[in-house]
A and B are shown apart, each in its own frame.
Chain A
Amino acid sequence: MSTGLKVTALAKSFGGKRAVDGIDFEVRGGELYALLGPNGAGKTTTLRMIAGLLNADAGEISVFGVDARRDPLAAKRMIAWLPDEPLLYDKLTAWEYLEFVAGLWNVEPAEARKRAENLLRLLGLWDNRNDRCETFSRGMKQKAVLAGALIHEPKLLMLDEPLTGLDAAASRLVKDLIRERVAAGAAVILTTHILEVAERMADRIGIIKDGRLLTEGSLDELRSHAGAQDQSLEDVFLSLTAPASA
């Protein structure tokens, strides 16, 4: 498998507080990497830097061989970013939203139309394609944003809490879509607080705390690192991220 995303010594501070403190990790093409950590650990900040939404203070980001800090536009062409909060244009319809996103990524209109139809049908939004997004529920908005993220067929998909607000059926649908992208060779990185999702879906897991990567690897590797064989990811996670006792 080729290297999809390579992050080296990535750092970011906010007003003197080190939010991300020299993180290194790698996600290969066709791999799903779950980035886990307690609240405020630096997960979203890391993803936002990779997506080009935040300037890193230091470090390197390589997306399928492209230096994202030196040539952000070339990197962005391959990236899709799904934020935890689905921010849409209330007054646009789902169809118009996809048209707009496809336009931003310069997807050829005929191809964009085909992909938009496929995605909307797959996500169960086809009948609502001409409804304005302001009429959508939280789950429908999440699905519309996901469709937008996938319309340019990204090679690197970054998902921040992608299952928030989704019902069981929609959640399954999204998970299937993610697996499909992984099978197609995309590198997928997701953050989630639902550890069962990471446990079941992720090929490798990284655990981050206070802006530093504590450990990474497959679930078995994490277990042996934590010295907690046959334990669930939740137990492993809690033992690794527990505050140091005095």
Chain B
Amino acid sequence: MSKPGSIPWLMSHELRLFWRRGKTRPKSGLIMLGLLLSLWLLFSFIMLQRLGPMIPPPPFIDSAWDGLALTAVGVIIAFIGSVMLSSSILAAVDVIYTRNDLDLILSSPLSPWRMLAVRAAAIAIGALPLYAGLLGPPLLWLAIFSSPLWLSSIIFLVTLAFAATALALLVVTALFRLIGPKNTRILAQIFSALAGAGVFLAFQYFNITSGRSREEEQAEMARFIASLDINPAAWWLLPSRAFTGDIVSTLIWVALVAALFPTAVFVFSRRFVGDAAAASGMGQRKRVADARVVGLRGGVMASVIRKEFRLLRRDPLLLSQIGMQLLYLLPLGFILLRPGGSLTVTEDTFVPVLTLLASTMASSLVWITVSAEDAPDLIASAPVAPSMIDRAKLVAAILPVLALMAIPLAALLWRDLAAGLWALAGVCLAATASALIGLWRRMPGSRREFARRRAKGSVIAGLGQAFVAFGISGAAALGAYGLPLIATIPALIAAAILGVLYKPNENGPPKEPVVVRGRSRNSPRP
């Protein structure tokens, strides 16, 4: 047992919280993780036992081909680094805004610097598991079967996480200074999504804007590579060299990160107390007398819908998160619209894209309106049939989707009536189906958990919404391409999945205890 208040003690506390985040049964997760890791270790062992000896030992610092190889490694590092940066920004924002242990920690006799250094290190470690799990085993076998210098890649990955965390802390601190606490949270969310998706989207953007077919692109790329004479010793390839076993580069890289990380923690911690206080008090704006008295409007259904619209409209963070989800659908659009691709860009191509977008948005909105109800007791104690509340919440989830889709649908209808009608049907059906699944498979949570709802929510609902969306968009696309008979197959599959997921709402209050905001809503209370 480490001494309470010591760095190892604080670190074990942080890592325990990280591990339990969004999990209800940590032990079963550990068993599953161990199993998957063992399988991956075994598989990579079998693979690299044969391939390892054939891979030339690092470092790769001699020829132009080495330069090219290092550039390719650099692209991979940029991708991994951007994803790490993305998750670190979110974690840093989480430290300031959403962790509700700040008062406790800051009122304790612990040094804020020590606490934040540990928390920052925990953020870095938290960014590692995916890459450690995916790349660790093959790199380990590579070090055994090819060259021990490959171990530098493991060191590099760990230090990359610390570098990403350092950058994240600096970004969040700078955003606080520049735009204030309220906007920082929203912008950091957007920034993190862009940082995570940036490299991927950039490639997709390149695909669509290149204006050439795939064959032309490949030929062009080969000519371009041949014309390059990349010096493997170039300064910008330092991370790649560090990753691939160049001892000097590794040492320089580690030294850089060793300087950057404490500096970032220092800058962050100097501002932290003030920033955290500003964040917690950001709702405490100065009150000014507001003489407006608007009339009250009645009606049960209208009241619920109006309430949901108001809450949605006034939560820019939530809206930005929904927007970010749609961003990840862009590559699909790129693929569909890509010239020379398997599909020709016609109005028909937009049918499945719009349908999928509608489904994604509806599933997000229904989670917010149905599962993330802030005052469930109030709703449950009202003299209103639960089915009416459900209907109102469904309408509140579907209407914004239809409103947003109205313009592209109108444009499509104007350009190609048949494609427009198929898209209209697809959008309406997909939005309704996703919303219904969200309603049937509700899993109470709070709005703050929106970004993590997939981890915390019903897996069945998530998968069901995805499969039904694919089924309906496939059917709509096939219909638009003039194959209505074949379209019945994915449509029937979607209908069957919908039927399987149907779960009638029990009238009356929930019978089983459900957890909301960390406590059981229905459990006995003092």
Binding site for B on A (CB under 8 A): 12, 14, 17, 19, 38-45, 48, 51-55, 72-77, 79-81, 83-84, 87-92, 95-96, 98-110, 112-113, 116-117, 127-132, 134-135, 148
Cβ A113 vs Cβ B295 within 8 A:
yes
Instruction: Assess whether B293 is in contact with A117, with CB atoms less than 8 Å apart.
Output: yes
Report the separation of the CA atoms of residues A88 and B509 in the bound assembly, to the nearest whole angstrom. Answer: 19
Interface residues in B460-491 (C-beta closer than 8 Å to A): none
Report Cα–Cα, A217/B513, bound state, in Å: 33
Q: B289 — which chain A residues lie within 8 A by C-beta?
A: 127
Contact B522 A91 (CB under 8 A): no
Task: Report how many residues on chain B are interfacial, defined by Cβ distance under 8 Å.
Answer: 45
* Complex: A51 Cα to B521 Cα, angstroms: 14
Name the contact of B303 in the complex, choosing from A51, A52, A103 (C-beta under 8 A): A103
Can you give 5 contacting A-B residue pairs, CB < 8 Å? Answer: A55-B508, A73-B384, A99-B306, A103-B298, A105-B383
- A-B contact sample (11 more), CB < 8 A, given A51-B380, A80-B381, A104-B300: A42-B524, A51-B381, A52-B508, A55-B511, A72-B508, A95-B296, A99-B306, A102-B303, A103-B304, A109-B298, A132-B314
Contacts of A116 in B (CB 8 A): 296
Contact indicator A53/B377 (Cβ below 8 Å) = yes
Query: For A45, what are the chain B residues with a Cβ–Cβ distance below 8 Å?
Result: 524-525
Q: Is the Cβ of B298 less than 8 Å from the Cβ of A102?
A: yes
**Within the complex, what minimum Cβ distance (angstroms) separates B388 from chain A?**
10
Is B27 on the interface with A (CB-CB < 8 A)?
A: no
Please give, as numbers and ranges, the residues of chain A lying within 8 Å of B522 by CB-CB distance.
48, 53-54
**Is A44 a contact of B526 with CB atoms below 8 Å?**
yes
B326 at the interface (CB under 8 A from A): no
Verify A128–B287 contact, CB threshold 8 A: yes
Return chain B residues, CB-CB under 8 Å to A75: 383
Chain B residues with CB under 8 A of A89:
307, 311, 374-375
Q: A74-B383, A87-B377 are in contact. Are A130 and B290 (CB under 8 A)?
A: yes
Question: What residues of A have a CB within 8 angstroms of the CB of B513 in the complex?
Answer: 14
Is the pair B283, A88 in contact by a Cβ cutoff of 8 Å?
A: no
A19 to B524, CA, bound (A): 7
Contact of B509 with A55 in the complex, beta carbons under 8 Å:
yes
Q: What residues of A have a CB within 8 angstroms of the CB of B285 in the complex?
A: 135
CA distance A128 to B283 in the complex (A): 14
Instruction: Report chain A residues within 8 Å CB of B377.
Output: 51, 53, 81, 83, 87
Q: Are A52 and B283 in contact (CB-based, < 8 A)?
A: no
- Mark B residues whose CB is within 8 Å of A: 283-285, 287, 289-290, 292-300, 302-304, 306-307, 310-311, 314-315, 374-385, 508-509, 511, 513, 522-526
Closest partner residue, chain A, to B301 (CB atom): A103
Are A90 and B287 within 8 A (Cβ)?
Answer: no
For the complex, give the distance between the alpha carbons of A19 and B520 in Å: 14
Nearest residue, chain B, Cβ from A84: B525
Measured between beta carbons, the chain A residues less than 8 angstroms from B384 are: 73, 104
List of 5 A-B pairs having minimum Cβ-Cβ separation, nearest first: A103-B303, A39-B526, A76-B383, A44-B525, A104-B382
- Contact A87/B385 with A41-B526, A52-B509, A100-B303 known, Cβ cut-off 8 Å: no
| Contacting pair B378 A101 (CB below 8 A) | yes
Chain A proximity of B477: nearest CB distance (Å): 38
**B525: nearest chain-A partner, CB-CB:** A44
Question: How many angstroms from the CA of A112 to the CA of B299 in the assembled complex?
Answer: 12
Q: Are B295 and A131 in contact (CB under 8 A)?
A: no
Enumerate chain B residues within 8 angstroms of A112, measured Cβ to Cβ: 296, 298
Q: Which residues of A contact B284 (CB under 8 A)?
A: 135
Residue on B with the closest CB to A51?
A: B381
A76–B389 alpha-carbon span in the complex (Å): 15
Give the distance to chain B from A183, nearest Cβ to Cβ, in Å: 24
CA distance A35 to B252 in the complex (A): 70
- Shortest beta-carbon distance from B8 to chain A in Å: 36
Complex Cα distance A117/B291, Å?
12
Name the residue among B299, B300, B304, B307 with the largest chain A CB count within 10 angstroms. Answer: B307
Within the complex, which residue of B287, B299, B315 is in contact with A135, where a contact is CB–CB below 8 Å? B287
Tell me whether A107 and B298 are in contact in the complex, defined as CB-CB below 8 angstroms, given that A48-B522, A54-B509, A81-B377 are known contacts: yes
Interface centre among B304, B376, B380, B382 (most CB of A within 10 A): B382
A95 in contact with B381 (CB, 8 Å): no
User: Smallest CB–CB gap between B373 and chain A, Å?
Assistant: 9
| B381 close to A52 (CB less than 8 A) | yes
Which A residues touch B508, using CB under 8 A?
Answer: 52, 55, 72
- The CA of A55 and the CA of B510, in the complex, are separated in Å by 8
Residues of A near B297 (CB, < 8 A) are 99, 103, 109
Closest beta carbon of chain B to A81's beta carbon, Å: 4
CB pair B378–A87 under 8 Å, yes or no, is: yes
- What's the Cα separation between A220 and B259 when bound, in Å? 75
Question: Cβ of B385: which chain A residues have Cβ within 8 Å of it?
Answer: 73
Cβ contacts under 8 Å, B314 to chain A: 91, 132
Chain B proximity of A233: nearest CB distance (Å): 18
- Taking the closest CB of chain B, its distance from the CB of A162, in whole angstroms, is 15
Report the minimum CB–CB distance from B410 to chain A (whole Å): 31
Q: Given that A103-B299, A109-B296 are known contacts, is A14 also in contact with B524, CB under 8 Å in the complex?
A: yes
When distances are taken between beta carbons in the complex, the residues of chain B under 8 Å from A48 are 522
Q: How far is the CA of A101 from the CA of B303 in the complex (A)?
A: 8
- Known A14-B513, A14-B524, A45-B524: A52·B380 in contact at CB below 8 Å: yes
Complex CA gap A130/B513 in Å reads 35
| Residues in A whose Cβ lies below 8 Å from that of B375 | 87-89
Which residue of A110, A117, A129 contacts B290 across the interface (Cβ within 8 Å)? A129
A74–B383 alpha-carbon span in the complex (Å): 7
Provide the bound-state CA to CA distance between A112 and B295, in Å: 9
Given the known interface contacts A92-B311, A134-B283, the answer about A104 and B303 at a Cβ–Cβ threshold of 8 Å is yes
Task: Give the distance to chain B from A92, nearest Cβ to Cβ, in Å.
Answer: 6
Q: Are A106 and B524 in contact (CB under 8 A)?
A: no
B495, chain A: closest CB distance, angstroms: 33
B499 CB, min distance to chain A CBs, angstroms: 28
Cβ-defined contact, A91 with B294, below 8 A: no
> Given contacts A72-B508, A104-B303, are A96 and B382 in contact (CB under 8 A)?
no
Shortest CB–CB separation between residue B389 and chain A, in angstroms?
Answer: 9
Bound-complex Cα distance A47 to B508 (A): 16
A113 to B509, CA, bound (A): 30
Bound CA–CA A101/B383 (angstroms): 11
Whether A130 contacts B300 by the Cβ 8 Å rule is no
Question: A54: which B residues are within 8 A, CB to CB?
Answer: 509, 522
Q: Which residue of A lies closest to B384 (CB)?
A: A104
In the bound complex, how far is the Cα of B374 from the Cα of A83, in angstroms? 13
Nearest opposing residue in chain B for A114, CB measure: B296
Q: Identify which of B290, B300, B315, B376 gathers the most chain A CB atoms within 10 Å of its CB.
A: B290
